[in-house]
Amino acid sequence: MNITTTLSQAVADALKNLYGIETDAKTIVLQDTRKEFKGDYTLVVFPYVKQARKSPEAVAGEIGEAVKAALPLVEGYNVIKGFLNFEVADSYWTSFVAEKVTDASFGMVKADPNEAPVVVEYSSPNTNKPLHLGHIRNNLLGWSVSQLLAANGANVKKVNLVNDRGIHICKSMLAWLRYGNGETPESTGMKGDHLVGKYYVEFDKHYKEEVKQLMERGVEEEQAKKDAPLMVEAQSMLKRWEEGDEEVRALWEKMNGWVYAGFDETYNRLGVGFDKVYYESNTYLLGKELVQKGLDMGVLFRKEDGSVWCDLTGDGLDQKLLLRKDGTSVYMTQDLGTALLRHKDFGAERLIYVVGNEQDYHFKVLKLILGKLGFEWADKVYHLSYGMVELPNGKMKSREGTVVDADDLIDEMERTAEEMSREHGKNDELSPEEQKHLYHILALGALKYFILKVDPAKNMLFNPAESIDFNGNTGPFIQYTHARIRSIVRKAGEAPEISMSNSQFPIGEKERGVVKALHALPETVAAAAAAYSPAMVANYAYDLAKAFNSFYQDTPILREENAQLKHFRVQLCAMVANALKNTMNILGIEVPERM
């Protein structure tokens, strides 16, 4: 039991004994004491004043005295109006470090593989274009949330639903047939996903020209978009695909194969992966049986034209189409089926979808309809809605070829990492292979941290130049801090074990701040997992690195003459390095041993 839990219980006991106030210790809120006041944790007593029938100062003083008498580790307290500041003895902090320094997984809870898993779906790319910056945020969030939940004890399964069918891929296929002259990834040296994406842009260019020509002949714009020969032919190709046309299917398999190989290469560079990959071509018909079940239950209704709908007006929404009048399914139909498939495949305890906030309505509807169909686990469906990523020069558009390609961005980040590392002289002692690896992990650390430090719900502006700075709230700053600490620990060497029992040395304000930050790690990981927010972990890692650097600048470590104090500080360094390594690992970021 840590000191905050112990303090909360002691406060609850004091409230009961002094004033007869029955309070669950879990509801007692302790805040970090503000820096201008002496103390470690602060209790706001105003909520208890009315029942105690005393002034805030009197209540704070009486609670402080009772807690100090009950807990020897509380060496003092002070009262500032209605704020009670507890002072924790140095011996608690030194004992905490001595006890936890050898715990490599401190702050993390080991997952139980026998528990019902939490299924996290992310990525879900279309096979008509390469992964871009928007996909990067999705993949990094999905991976990091999975890591975060696992660090909090969940048995996580990561899945991907690839959108490998539909009009989008037919556009690329048709353009390749028309304008490709048989190009392949091998003949061009292009990654397969880049090659297919090239023809998606090519389709759009020619399609717009056809629409323009029709409009010049007097055709209304909306009709011109439907009647353009390329669109008519793409729609025909999609119909032939759905009918199982061998020629169309063979081309589809070939071009999708190019894309999958390209995706895998990008996933590997990003350091993300999946336990299972689903393909829309195998799942798009799922859900039709559920629609029939809904009709039989009276939950769904059929209109005169034969289409099937769910009336959600009673839930504050509208009517939702589930089957078109020709009997074909829509995305919602498929998602109902895949949700049930996931539940059956994994016996999932939770289904988490990492999808942009433009799909908020879709997932509200999915959850409601699953509930109406009688699935008790419907309330375990969670949409991790995230904001869009923009660049300093505005939004990206796939059809116009103005997206920021994921591979190009990683290449640019690696070049920048090399330039800045050389400029700062942080690679002089490394071999060429070690340097190359360092540039890669710095680049990915900068990219991942810059994206993940922002609360998922917020839109964000990505600036590559800012992300890779070695100072400030960046991944490289934390990575460099870890390397600096590991250097200190190596220089300390294998010193003989020194007993920390009966230690009488005081610890300074800044090292106390570092210890308190470490002490908060388990609570931070738990709170971040509950909020599905890697940003909380990212900003914790930054605050810890910042606190350590402040301590390091002002406090002798290897030059300390007091053997016990020196040993304590080296232990503290080792514990900070481990905490940074574990928290950055949750973000999918590698930290170097040397820089």
Per residue in 270-326, pLDDT (tens digit) is 999 999 999 999 988 889 999 999 999 999 999 999 999 999 999 999 999 999 998
- Give tens-digit pLDDT for 444-497: 999 999 999 999 999 998 887 788 888 889 999 999 999 999 999 999 985 555
Give the per-residue pLDDT at 400.
46
Q: Which helix (H) or strand (E) holds 551?
A: helix 534-554
Give the per-residue pLDDT at 472.
87
CB-based contact 13:23 (threshold 8 Å): no
Give the per-residue pLDDT at 399.
44
Tell me if the domain spanning 3-88 has CATH number 2.60.420.10: no
Sequence spans of domains, the chain: 3-88, 409-586
- Give tens-digit pLDDT for 84-103: 999 999 999 999 999 999 99
Residue 402 pLDDT > 60: no
Give the per-residue pLDDT at 502.
53
**Average pLDDT over all residues of the chain:** 92
- Neighbour-count burial of 497, counting CB atoms closer than 10 A to its CB (0-12 exposed, 13-18 middle, 19+ buried): exposed
Give the per-residue pLDDT at 401.
46
* DSSP summary character for residue 132: B
Give the per-residue pLDDT at 393.
63
Copy the structure tokens of residue 154: 């969940």
Q: What is the pTM of this model?
A: 0.91
Residue 334 pLDDT > 50: yes
Could you tell me which CATH number the domain at 409-586 has?
1.10.730.10
- Candidates 361, 425, 413, 386; CA nearest to 589 is 413
Give the per-residue pLDDT at 327.
84
More confident residue, 484 or 400: 484
- Give tens-digit pLDDT for 549-570: 999 999 999 999 888 899 999 9
CB-based contact 316:366 (threshold 8 Å): no
Copy the structure tokens of residue 561: 């003459």
Mean pLDDT of 241-262: 96
Give the per-residue pLDDT at 495.
53
Give the per-residue pLDDT at 175.
97
Give the per-residue pLDDT at 7.
96
Give the per-residue pLDDT at 501.
53
**Torsion angles phi and psi, residue 273, rounded to 5:** -160, -175
Copy the structure tokens of residue 400: 């116009």
- Candidates 593, 471, 490, 581; CA nearest to 106 is 581
Residue 421 pLDDT > 90: no
Residue 499 pLDDT > 90: no
Residue 373 pLDDT > 70: yes
Mean pLDDT of 386-409: 69
Give the per-residue pLDDT at 405.
86
Give the per-residue pLDDT at 503.
57
Give the per-residue pLDDT at 397.
46
- Candidates 395, 391, 436, 427; CA nearest to 409 is 391
Copy the structure tokens of residue 543: 């605050």
